Chain A
Amino acid sequence: DIQMTQSPSSLSASLRDRVTITCRTSQNINNYLNWYQQKPGKAPKVLIYAASTLQSGVPSRFSGSGSGTSFTLSISNLQPEDSATYYCQQSYSAPRWSFGQGTILEI
C-alpha cells in the first residue's frame, strides 16, 4: 500500500500570510495527487486535482505543485475562511485509494 505523510500536522498563521503544506508518498505516484479542504461538521471539498489543477470555483490563492513522491499545497493571502483541515489523497493505486493524515490550519 502507498503510505502518505503530511507535514506539518498543524500550523497557525496570520491573515494575509502564505503557508505551505507538504505531502510525501512512499512510492512514485506521478501526479496522481489531490488536495481537499474540510471544515468542522462538513464534507471534504476538492481544491486541487492532478497535483496542480485548480478545481473550478476555488480561489486562485490556492495552488498545488509537485510530482513523484513530494507535493505541496500553498495558500497565499490567508483569509479567515481558510481555517480548516487539509488532506492529500492519492489515486495512483486506485481502487486502493488513500489519504494523508490531515493538516489543521488555524488562522
Chain B
Amino acid sequence: EVQLVESGGDLVQPGGSLRLSCAASGFTVNTNYIHWVRQAPGKGLEWVSVIYSGGDTYYADSVRARFAISRDNSKNTVYLQMDALTAEDTGVYFCAREMATISSSWFDPWGQGTLVTVSS
C-alpha cells in the first residue's frame, strides 16, 4: 500500500527549531517529488516546500531561509528542518507525493499530518 506517515510535530517556543519526518511505504522517495503543505488552525492549505527526485529543492517565500527539506534514501524518508519558528508557523504539516501525467500534476497520497505549535 502506498502510504506516507508524518511525525515530529510538537510544542516549541518562538525562535526554536523542529524537524519533521515523512516516512514513505509502497514507493521510493528518491524517484518521486515529495511536498510539504501546511494548514494553520481553521485556515486553508499553504504549499511549503518540495524535493525533486534529482535533489532540487524549492520553498514558499514565507519559509525560505528558515526551512530546509532533505531526504534519507536508506530510510525512505523526507525531512523538513524548521528553524527560527514563529507563531505564524503553527499548524498541521502534511507531506504528499506528486503524481503527474504529461499535461498535469497533483498530490496523492497525503499523510495524516503532524501538529506543530509555536508558543511560549
Per the bound structure, the CA–CA distance linking A100 and B45 in Å amounts to 8
> Distance (Å) between the CB of A62 and the closest chain B CB?
14
**In the complex the two chains form, is B104's CB within 8 Å of A32's CB?**
yes
> Distance (Å) between the CB of A49 and the closest chain B CB?
4
How many A residues touch B, CB cutoff 8 Å? 26
Q: Which of B7-38 contact A (CB under 8 A)?
A: 35
Say yes or no: is A55 at the interface (Cβ < 8 Å to chain B): yes
**In the complex the two chains form, is B110's CB within 8 Å of A43's CB?**
yes
**In the complex the two chains form, is A46's CB within 8 Å of B106's CB?**
yes
Say yes or no: is B112 at the interface (Cβ < 8 Å to chain A): yes
**In the complex the two chains form, is A99's CB within 8 Å of B44's CB?**
yes
**In the complex the two chains form, is B110's CB within 8 Å of A94's CB?**
no
Say yes or no: is B74 at the interface (Cβ < 8 Å to chain A): no
Question: Taking chain A's interface residues, is the majority helix, strand, or loop, or is none over half, making it mixed?
Answer: loop
**In the complex the two chains form, is A31's CB within 8 Å of B104's CB?**
yes
Residue from the list B47, B109, B112 in contact with A97, Cβ < 8 A: B47
How many B residues touch A, CB cutoff 8 Å? 23
Q: Mark A10-42, 1 if CB is under 8 A from B, else 0.
A: 000000000000000000000110101010001
Residue from the list A46, A50, A87, A95 in contact with B45, Cβ < 8 A: A87
Per the bound structure, the CA–CA distance linking A65 and B106 in Å amounts to 16
Per the bound structure, the CA–CA distance linking A67 and B108 in Å amounts to 22
**In the complex the two chains form, is A98's CB within 8 Å of B44's CB?**
no
Per the bound structure, the CA–CA distance linking A43 and B22 in Å amounts to 14
Contacts of B105 in A (CB 8 A): 32, 49, 91, 94
The contact sample of 14 A-B pairs, CB cut-off 8 A, is A31-B103, A31-B104, A32-B103, A32-B105, A43-B96, A43-B111, A43-B113, A46-B107, A50-B101, A50-B106, A89-B45, A97-B47, A102-B44, A102-B45
| Chain B residues packing against A (C-beta within 8 Å) | 35, 44-47, 50, 58, 60, 94, 96, 99, 101, 103-113
